Amino acid sequence: MEDLGPIVAAAAAFVGTHFLLSHPLRKPIVDTVGSAAFLGIYSVVAAATLGWLALAYRAAPAGTPLWVVSDGLWAAATVVMLVASVLLVGSILRNPALPNPGSPIPVPAAARGVFAVTRHPMMWAFALWGICHIAVYPVAANIIVAAAIIILALVGAALQDRKKKALQPDTWRDWERKTSYWPFGAIVSGKARLGGFSMHALAGGVVLWLAATWAHIPLTGWPAGVWRWL
């Protein structure tokens, strides 16, 4: 029987402290110590719990795969990871969902590029990463870590919407009417059109995808992405 208690505890701490510090505990801590000190506390807690999760993962038993991973599944995960990479790089600039210490980031007049795909491209990039890693490496320890990332990303995106509506009620509701929480939901419903991707999203996404999948070779000892077939 695999002892998964330590990695479950580390994953729960990583996700739980993020939610607590981002939402119910944020205001009382900021009111007590100020924004700069809160950011320092948040960063230390995030780094500590992430380090704990990484150490617990390394110490966890290897486990037995829960299903056979075919080349077809690898190919599907490779394509999805390319989409995730474009979403992630495209979300870095002019993303109104990102926190900003000063004034809120302006909401675009229309949803284009990654924002036509989803209102939360960064969060969905992390969630897709988790889904793909579960699909191609279905062992218990990896599933726990990937599931923690998925929960943190998707629940975090929903909580972002709630917070933004409280801070920018009219602006954010208008943005929600133009976009979708679910990938491609706004395009399917006719609220947005696919297209308008910036070059930094497309080119940067491809570079990130190639670099990250290649990095599996020195880091894990086995190839991922297109490098499996090259």
Residue 128 has pLDDT above 70, yes or no: yes
161-198 confidence digits (pLDDT tens): 998 998 888 899 999 999 999 999 999 999 999 999 99
**pTM for the whole structure:** 0.93
User: How many whole angstroms from its chain centre is CA 56?
Assistant: 21
pLDDT band at 24 (very low <50, low <70, confident <90, very high): confident
Q: Which class for 220: exposed (0-12), middle (13-18), buried (19 or more C-beta within 10 A)? A: exposed
Answer yes or no: are the C-beta atoms of 20 and 45 closer than 8 Å: no
Indicate if the pLDDT at residue 44 is higher than 50. yes
Higher per-residue confidence, 102 vs 84: 84
Tell me the pLDDT tens digit for each residue of 47-77.
999 999 999 999 998 889 999 999 999 999 9
* pLDDT for residue 185: 96
At 102 the pLDDT is 64
pLDDT for the residue numbered 101: 63
Distances (CA, A) of 61 to 5, 17, 185, 222: 11, 25, 39, 18
Least confident among 31-40, 51-60, 174-183, 200-209: 31-40
DSSP calls for 87-112: HHHHTSSS-TTS--SSSPPPPPSS--
Res 146: pLDDT = 97
Mean pLDDT of 83-96: 95
pLDDT of residue 204: 97
User: Does residue 1 have a pLDDT over 70?
Assistant: no
pLDDT averaged over the chain? Answer: 93
